[in-house]
Structure formats: structure tokens, C-alpha cells
Amino acid sequence: MLDIKFVRENPDLVDKAMASRNSSWDRASFLELDEARRACITEVESLQAERNNLSKQIGKLMKEGKADEAAAAKATVAAGKERIAELESKRAELEKALFDLVSRIPNLPNEDIPYGKDDSENVEARRWGTPRTFDFEPKAHWDLGPELGMIDFDRGIKLSGSRFYVLGGMGARLERALINFMIETHAAAGFKEWWPPVIVSRDTMFGTGQLPKFEEDAFHVSGDMFLIPTAEVPLTNLHRGEVLDASQLPLWYTAFTPCFREEAGSAGRDTRGIIRVHEFDKVEMVKFATPEDSMNQLESMTAEAEKILQLLELPYRVVTLCTGDIGFSACKTYDLEVWLPSYNTYKEISSCSNCWDFQARRANIKYRDPANFKGTRFVHTLNGSGLAVGRTMAAIMENCQNADGSITVPKVLVPYMGGVEVITPEA
């Protein structure tokens, strides 16, 4: 979340930032709550000063035999004490309301990202690889999957409902191969692997910005717990409430988890195949960095995600998200979009974001660097997909298909597939 002091001192800047995001915030309520809070503080300080003064006088009045005046002073002190308690209670309510209001304000976009209203105004940064030209009519992964016995949509719907599917045979094996390949590649680059829980608390979801704003997109389970929408949530919260040492930074973490999203508001979008579903596998990267280094860490994280696509020999492009398309917690985001023949365009397969200190404030993650400053500062947190496994499978199936309906396994995956080089229809 944003620094409340910063919001108080820069409401015009917040107005401008929210306008660039096609968003808004309740400026009037913020200023009203903040003014009421400060009024409480001022009155409490005045009453405390009066109480201290009267307390000193009471002893003197008693010594002078002025019992009536001393009793009156004691009554005033008692009344002041009651009033202070009322004001402190009111102040706590106002501060909670202020905190709740600010917690719903998205992050400020970084100054160097493009201004735009939506994803149509994102800016392409670079491309890698050339989309394949087929000498036959290529099939979509939602046709190839059932034909090869890799994906069963009907049984997924039978088991769980719409936007679910089942992987079988070489589909299950390819999913597992991709997960192991991605994790091992990131681990070799220096990322520490974790295996976090996929059910987390409300505080954990709040820490990364999923709550309260996006509660309708989350899957609830019993006890006010939630299924994670991404491993970013537990990985970032590993250090919630902690003070790290500067010598530890940057920290590089990675994890594979299933992810769960309600996909509220996505009716009619990507209804076929495995591009937009309620449950999917993803390998995630998370970093903790100093403010001075976080933008460098964003570039290296993006390059790490690109490396996966390059090793798989899948054509892709990198786009810089504009102000109107970046996520709630992000200040700058690169999207990696892989080429999918079935769409005849590029589709998102990874988002790599720098969140500055936005999540660290929510989760209270700080670091100490005595050589350079006194006290503590908030870390910067970053996250990125490395990659979305189902979308990667779809991209492999479509880009590596053959005229006979088989799929050539990318060379880098063959060892993870037990030597299988070509996936053919099940007997």
C-alpha cells in the first residue's frame, strides 16, 4: 500500500496517478478522516497537558489546605481522563478507516512506463524467434489434446465443472516435465526453491494486494482461508513482519504450485482450451531487493523468464505494460507473450513486475543497513511467472505439431520426458 504520509502530502500526485490508471480514489473521505484523526490527536495532547498541570497543582492545593479547590481539580482530571479514553478509541477507529481506504488504492505507476488506457496501448520492447509457417493446416491445442489423449475436457467438466480439464498420458508427463525443467533452470540460476502451502490466511492474501480489492476472484475455503492465485502470495509473505539484513539482499525465490482463480468478469474470454481456467500450474519467481537495485532485478527476472522460452524455442515478444494495464500492486510490468497459431497472435505467458515497497508496506517487510542509514527501510518486492505451465504446454503443442498430428518434443525437454522425442496418438 502507499505511505499514508505520502498520500497526505501529495493528494494531487495521487489524483494524477490514479487518472493515468483509469482508476480513482476517495480523496474527500481520506482528507476528512485524516483531519478528524489529527483533531483527535490535538485535543488529546491539550487534555494531557492540562492533566499534567492540574496534577502538579493538586498536591500544592492540599498542602495549602484548599481541599475544595483540590477536589475540583481532581474532578477535572478524572473528566479529562475519560475524555482522553473516548478520543483514543475514536482515533483508533479513524486510523483503521484511513488504513482500509488507503489499502484499496493501487500502486503509483513508474515514471518511465507508457501512458495508455488499456492493453491496446502497451508498447512492444522486443521479439525473439519467428512464428512458424506451416505447409499444412495447423490445429489448435484444444483439438490436438483430445486426439493425442493428452487433454480430456469432458471429464474435467464432469469432475469439477466448466473451465476445468484433466491431463492424461503424455499430457500429464509433459506437464510434469515442464515443471521440473523450469524449476531446475531457475535453481541453476541461483533461485532458492520452496514448496509452500496453497491454502493461506487473509493476512497473507492482504500482504501481496489480493485483498481486499480482489476478493471476488479468490477461492474461499473454511476458516476464512483462501486457495492461492499464484505462488507470489506465499513466497512474498515468507518474510512478513521480518527485518532482513542488507547483506542478504537480493533474495531470489522460486516455487511450483497449482494456482486457483475464480476468473470473475472473464465470461466469454478464452473459453476454449487451457488458456483461461480455474486451476492451473505455474512456476513463480519472487525477489526481495533494495530500492536502488530493484529495477536491475526486474530486468534480470524478465531475462530469466525469457530464457525458458528461448530454450524451448518458442517465439515470443516482450511488451511494457502501460499505465492503464498494470496490476494493482505493480509499478512497472513486462509481459512475455508467446506465439499461438490458434489465435494467430501472441498471448501472455508471463508477467514480471516490480512492486517497489507497495507489498512490503502491507506485509511489513523491512531491511537494515547500518553502514548506509539509521533504522530500517522497506524492501522492494518483485514477482514473475517462470512460466505458466499450461499455457507453455499449449504453445508447445501448437508450435511443434506435425502434419500427421504428432508433436515434436523440444530438445531441452527430451531428458525430462524419459527420452520421448515425438508424442503420437495413443494406441
Residues annotated as catalytic (active site), given as ranges: 261, 276, 348, 351, 391
Q: Torsion over CA of 214, 217, 220 and 226, rounded to 10 degrees?
A: -60
> Where would I find the H helices in 113-246?
141-147, 153-160, 170-188, 202-207, 232-237
Q: Count the neighbouring beta carbons within 10 Å of the beta carbon of residue 293.
A: 14
H/E stretch holding 380 reads strand 380-388
Give the burial class of 406: count Cβ atoms within 10 A of its Cβ; 0-12 exposed, 13-18 middle, 19 or more buried.
Answer: middle
Cα–Cα distance for residue pair 307/313, rounded to 1 Å: 10
Q: Per-residue DSSP letters for 275-309?
A: SS-SEEEEEEEEEEE-TTTHHHHHHHHHHHHHHHH
Which residue shows C-alpha cell 493528494? 11
Give yes or no for a cis peptide into 109 (omega within 30° of 0). Answer: no
> Where would I find the H helices in 21-122?
27-63, 67-103
Q: Count the neighbouring beta carbons within 10 Å of the beta carbon of residue 321.
A: 23
Q: Torsion over CA of 37, 38, 39 and 42, rounded to 10 degrees?
A: 130
The x, y and z cell numbers of residue 276, run together, are 483461461
Residues 6 or more apart whose Cβ sits within 8 Å of residue 361: 1, 2, 3, 378
The 8-class DSSP code of residue 120 comes to G
The x, y and z cell numbers of residue 416, run together, are 525430462
- Using DSSP's 3-state secondary structure scheme, residue 213 falls into coil
- β-bridge partners, 234: none
- β-bridge partners, 333: 353
Give the burial class of 365: count Cβ atoms within 10 A of its Cβ; 0-12 exposed, 13-18 middle, 19 or more buried.
Answer: buried
